Amino acid sequence: GAVVSQHPSRVICKSGTSVKIECRSLDFQATTMFWYRQFPKQSLMLMATSNEGSKATYEQGVEKDKFLINHASLTLSTLTVTSAHPEDSSFYICSARDPRGDTIYFGEGSWLTVV
Amino acid sequence: GDSVTQMEGPVTLSEEAFLTINCTYTATGYPSLFWYVQYPGEGLQLLLKATKADDKGSNKGFEATYRKETTSFHLEKGSVQVSDSAVYFCALAKTSGSRLTFGEGTQLTVNP
């Protein structure tokens, strides 16, 4: 079964509102989680690296005030898309590092549609 | 910086055909190499990995060998099935648990 779970799997929100996506490690404590964005038929783009108890490290070109990442516990990281616009519509995927085997597991992904 | 290049898709094969998806990389040092598979509408699943030169990763009939001399990690399967239809991503990381750099992805469609 899945060891990393994302919720919701699909969400539709109105333009200008904020939406939160959760990423949970179910079977291990993840000190590091990663957030990716994937456009249709394209590869994954790393948005940020989330470290438990500290600020996320954002990739160049990613607006940290728009994509708020919180990693408040060892099993949960959240991505909040603030003041969403239609161009934020995308597939967002998280991954978490299992320190026991130094393996990265991916969540199922979350489809965000902003209307 | 580090990068991964995959063969362009889409790739369409008949069931039981032989599959090769080419992957080459550019990186300093000795990265770990991965193949991930993404089924429609889903996240990524680790298919196989190799952490040092000449290692062969294998899973579900898929294989890939870490070739340092050619900086390659080509994915192969001797006989594909319809259920193998998915997008395949080659990726590298400095160490097994660090951030991943992905290739562009290759869409594979297997017809009955």
For an interface test with A, give the residue of B11, B92, B100, B101 to mutate (most A CBs within 10 A): B100
Checking DSSP bridges between strand B11-14 and strand B106-111, what pairing results, if any?
Answer: parallel
pLDDT score, position B97 = 67
Q: How many residues does chain B have?
A: 112
Where do we find the tokens 């995959």?
B6
Given a cut of 70, the residues of chain A with pLDDT beneath it are 1-2
In chain B, residues 47-86 whose CB comes closer than 8 Å to chain A: none
CA neighbor of B38 nearest in space, from A3, A35, A109, A33: A109
Give chain B's mean pLDDT: 93
pLDDT score, position A89 = 95
CA-to-CA dists, residue A96 to A22, A53, A107, angstroms:
12, 15, 8
Those residues whose C-beta lies under 8 Å from the C-beta of residue A16, and which sit 6 or more positions away, are: A83, A84, A85
Give chain A's mean pLDDT: 92
Per-residue pLDDT tens digits for B49-70? 999 999 999 999 999 999 999 9
With an 8 Å Cβ cutoff, are B44 and A49 in contact? Answer: no
Omega prior to A8 cis, within 30 of 0: yes
What's the mean pLDDT in B73-102? 91
pLDDT score, position A2 = 66
- Residue B29's pLDDT band (cuts 50, 70, 90): confident
pLDDT at position B99 over 90: no
With an 8 Å Cβ cutoff, are B89 and A102 in contact? Answer: no
- Residue B98's pLDDT band (cuts 50, 70, 90): confident
Where do we find the tokens 């965000």?
A112
| Whether the Cβ atoms of residue A91 and residue A109 lie closer than 8 Å to each other | yes
Q: For residue B64, which phi and psi values (nearest 5 degrees)?
A: -155, 140
